[in-house]
Amino acid sequence: MAEFGAYGNKLGGYLHLDDVPALVARTTDKKPIAITRCRLDTSAHGPTSPIPSEDAYMVVLQTGERSHRELWLDGKPVRTEPLNPGQVALHDLRRRPVFKLYTPINSVNFYIPRQALVACVADANSRWIGDLAFTPGIGVNDRVLAALGSAVLPAFEYPDQVNQLFIDCVTRAVVAHVAQSFGGMQVGARPLRGGLAPWQERRAKEIIDANLDGEILLNELAKQCGLSSSHFSRAFRQSTGTSPHRWLLHQRVEKAKRLLRDRQSSLSEVALTCGFADQSHLTRVFTKLLGVGPAAWRRVDHE
């Protein structure tokens, strides 16, 4: 019996790649949504092994040079066009795609089960129109997916600096965009008004403050507020003016500022206490949000 889930090392096995990293969102229905980084410098690679049929899609964002490839679906050849840098190609995994590539592999692959798309459409109070609309083998320009793919690239370089809430937020954004751009999803006619109720906002902030290491799921925050994940994300932004992930970063920095006033604590100690991977991670986030590094901020604060 075939094992499902074409992402990470499992996808790497089909493509004959080793040590393929993936970022996996945690979902309440146990259906993973994942982002895989695929790289191989060798040209003329393939044919790959057929990816077992499953009710899911793979969206490939080309991040390297122009890709020339052949494609077979259900054992039959499909006409292809070169995939340019920044373009995306969609694949229905029910059709067991096989590839033969004539250029190095350099891509970010989004793995999206159909169930995740259906749930997204339901959360948006929209109507599902059926299969995603795209032409197999032909790339399309999609600036949103290109931007989301670029946003996660540093996460593969510095995996110890990535928190789960960030992964959950990015994957949900990818699913929502794919559902809208290729599935015809339309936001329902009942827009949110007023954001979270006071008790919901208070509860969400309490949970985030108690989990500044980032190990809190977007789904869990939503559940504690009695909302779906997408509903919660929109309402949180409407109430606070920022995303849950951004709020988490701000709270980490605020805690760091409090600790920095104690000259007994080193920067590395402050970083670990506030949930940052290391001192350099603290410095990057602190500087991005405040415009000055933590060491300089500490000096100015004590003058």
DSSP structural state of residue 187: -
Closest among 97, 110, 108 to 33, alpha carbons compared: 110
Mean pLDDT of the chain: 88
Quickly state the pLDDT bin for 190 (edges 50, 70, 90).
very low
For the chain, where are the E strands, in sequence order?
A: 22-25, 33-40, 56-62, 69-73, 76-78, 87-92, 98-101, 105-113, 140-141
Highest-scoring range by mean pLDDT, 39-43, 107-111, 191-195, 212-216 = 107-111
Q: Sorting pLDDT into bands at 50, 70 and 90, what band is 287?
A: very high
Q: What are phi and psi of 275, to 5 degrees?
A: 90, 5
Q: How many CB atoms lie within 10 A of CB 159?
A: 11
pLDDT computed for residue 189 by the predictor: 42
Q: Does 282 have pLDDT greater than 70?
A: yes
Label residue 185 by pLDDT band (50, 70, 90): confident
Mean pLDDT for the stretch of residues 198-209: 89
Check residue 76 and give its pLDDT. 96
Q: Is 249 exposed, middle or buried (0-12, 13-18, 19+ CB in 10 A)?
A: buried
Strands 87-92 and 22-25: unpaired
- Cα dihedral 187, 189, 193, 199 sign: negative
For the cut 80, the answer to whether the pLDDT of residue 184 exceeds it is yes
Q: Which residues of 200-227 are buried (b: 16+ CB within 10 A; e: fewer)?
A: bbebbbebbeebbebebbbbbbbeebeb
What tokens does 48 get? 């790959």
For the chain, the C-alpha Rg in angstroms (whole number) is 21
The whole-number pLDDT of residue 192 equals: 46
What band does 218 get if pLDDT is binned at 50, 70 and 90?
A: confident
The pLDDT of residue 213: 72
Q: Is residue 182 predicted with pLDDT exceeding 90?
A: yes
pTM (2 decimals)?
Answer: 0.73
% of the chain surpassing 70 pLDDT = 92
CA distances (Å), 164 to each of 51, 94, 242, 249, 269, in order? 27, 29, 17, 13, 22
Per-residue pLDDT for 301 more than 90?
A: no
Distance between CA atoms of residues 143 and 146, nearest Å: 5
Query: What pLDDT does 3 receive?
Result: 54
SS3 104: coil
Tell me: the pLDDT tens digits for 128-163? 667 899 999 999 999 999 999 999 999 999 988 888
Residue 60 to residue 48: CA distance in whole angstroms: 15
* Mean pLDDT on 186-194: 56
pLDDT of residue 219: 87
Lowest mean pLDDT among 66-70, 136-140, 196-200: 196-200
Residue located via tokens 């970010």: 108
pLDDT score of 197: 87
DSSP 13-38: HHHT-SS--EEEE--TTS--EEEEEE
